[in-house]
Amino acid sequence: MTSVSTDTELIVDPATYLTGVPHASFARLRAEHAVVWMDEPAPGTGFWGVLRHEEIKQVLRDTTTYSSYAKATQMFDPPNERALTFIRQSLLNQDPPRHTELRKLISRAFTAKAIAQLEDRITSWANQLVDEVAGDGACDFSWLVADLPLRTIAEIFGVPDQDRWLMNDWSNRIIGYQDPDYATRAKANAGGSTAMARRAMVLRPEPDADGRLPNQRTRAGMPDLFAYARDLVEWKRDHPGDDVLSNLVRADLPIAEFENMFWLFPLAGIETLRNGLPGGLHTLLSEPDTYRAVREDRSLLPGTIEEMLRWWSPIMHFRRTATVDTELGGQRIGAGDKVIVWFTSGNRDERVFPEPDRFDITRPQRDHLSFGNGPHYCLGAHLVRVQMRAMLTAVFDRLGEVRSAGEIARLRSNFQNGITHMPIQW
């Protein structure tokens, strides 16, 4: 019999995820607890892990009791009060009403109408990316996918297209804080980039003797990103357009809020697709009959995409902090306690998803948590679905019968359910 402490230790340890999400541990805990205490290594203080679908939604909807602003939204605490004050200005780390105000500044770019106007270009980019490798007979699908969200986000936010790989490299550092090898992978180079990008690249931090980069949630940890953001503000003032960044400049957003918004773009705009789509296709390839069924009947594609998102859960958790003494799932939560909602557990909750460990593209229940819930529900949810549909359609149409060409490599992270290498062949 596995103990609660053993299961929670597995869940908290980022190295666990190099071999896969510990779904069996989540299931054992979830069977007995809606909410369970999880210890974490020093300097962490431990936290309440929220495991069931209903309680996760309760936390995400109740921003008064469970705050994003109090201690921000990542599992580990900011290193000091100065860093906390700075990152609190991010949309991700705000509570209403300021969160609502900031969200309105960018929401127009993510309406169904706005995405529909971009859909033809997304389809064209997906086709182009697949065509570039079609004659090779094989590729690393994780790298193939990476460029689609970069092109899309550069277009929506108004980042010069030739600088888009900077966002990839920043995202590697933000997501890879538990995986030093991944965090130091950089693809952007000075050739063909703007002067803004070249100035930023000079400021890239170097790994220390242990191969680690400085804390990516501090100004000192991302000097190149923040320098680029400041240059971009000035460039947008002189060259305004119909894009998100131009709108933020027109709104005269304080520079610290602009910088934090810009820090968020690589994480929010890239990672769900960059990891969710390879994870989804990896699952689909393990069931060749299902792959063929979807390829032959595209009416199955919307349900397939929703099941991929539920099954793979690209972002595995987010953090809130209790502002008052309260009760959740039968547990007493103290004011100031850290509360972690585990999407990867809620998306396998047997109370909502019958036979949750079965990949079922005809599953009628679509209430997965991969885009969150409540006021912080992902603005780009519809955009992710459009990009997934475009890339899967391009693979089906241009590559035909795709097969795995070896083992995948996973990201060392308890936050992002990432794939760093996924060989496929056709």
3-class SS of residue 50: strand
Per-residue pLDDT of the chain (426 residues; tens, 9 = 90+): 578 999 999 999 999 999 999 999 999 999 999 999 999 998 888 999 999 999 999 999 999 999 999 999 999 999 899 999 989 988 999 999 999 999 998 998 899 999 999 999 999 999 999 999 999 999 999 999 999 999 999 999 999 999 999 999 999 998 888 998 888 888 998 888 999 999 999 999 988 888 888 888 888 889 999 999 999 999 999 999 889 999 998 988 888 888 888 888 767 778 889 989 999 999 999 999 999 999 999 999 999 999 999 999 999 999 999 999 999 999 999 999 999 999 999 999 999 999 999 999 999 877 999 999 999 999 999 999 999 999 999 999 999 999 999 999 999 999 999 999 999 999
How far apart CA 287 and CA 75 sit, in angstroms, is: 34
- All structural domains of the chain: 4-425 (1.10.630.10)
The confidence score (pLDDT) of residue 330 equals 95
Alpha-carbon distance of 416 to 171, in angstroms, equals 11
Residue 71, C-beta contacts closer than 8 angstroms, at least 6 positions apart:
77, 78, 84, 319, 321, 338
Pairing of strands 66-67, 317-322: antiparallel
pLDDT at 214: 87
Distance CA 276, CA 317 (A): 14
Residue 335 confidence (pLDDT): 98
- Which residue type occupies 397? D
- Between CA 168 and CA 129 the distance in angstroms is 16
Closest by CA to 223, choosing from 263, 177, 253, is 263
The pLDDT of residue 303? 96
For 33, phi then psi, to 5°, come to: -135, 135
Question: Please, are residues 33 and 15 in contact by the beta-carbon 8 Å criterion?
Answer: no
The residues that bridge with 341 in the sheet, in sequence order, are: 50, 318
Paired tokens of 116: 């529909």
Q: What is the pTM of this model?
A: 0.95
Rounded to a whole number of angstroms, the distance between the first and last alpha carbons of the chain is: 44
Question: CB–CB of 12/342 below 8 Å?
Answer: no
Helices (H) and strands (E) in the chain, counts: 17, 12
Local structure of 175: helix, strand or coil: helix
381: exposed, middle or buried (Cβ count in 10 Å: 0-12, 13-18, 19+): middle
**Per-residue pLDDT at 261:** 84
- Cβ neighbours for 234, distance < 8 A, ≥ 6 positions apart: none
Helix (H, G, I), strand (E, B) or coil at 385: helix
The pair of three-digit structure tokens given for residue 322, joined into one six-digit string: 């209790």
Residue 341 is predicted with a pLDDT of 98
Query: pLDDT value at position 1?
Result: 52
Using alpha carbons, select from 319, 284, 346, 317 the residue that is nearest to residue 416: 317
Number of neighbouring beta carbons within 10 Å of residue 97? 8
User: Which one, of 143, 108, 87, lies nearest residue 262 by Cα?
Assistant: 87
Report the alpha-carbon angle 380-307-74, nearest 5: 50
Question: According to the model, what pLDDT value does residue 347 have?
Answer: 98
Show the tokens assigned to 145: 């996918």
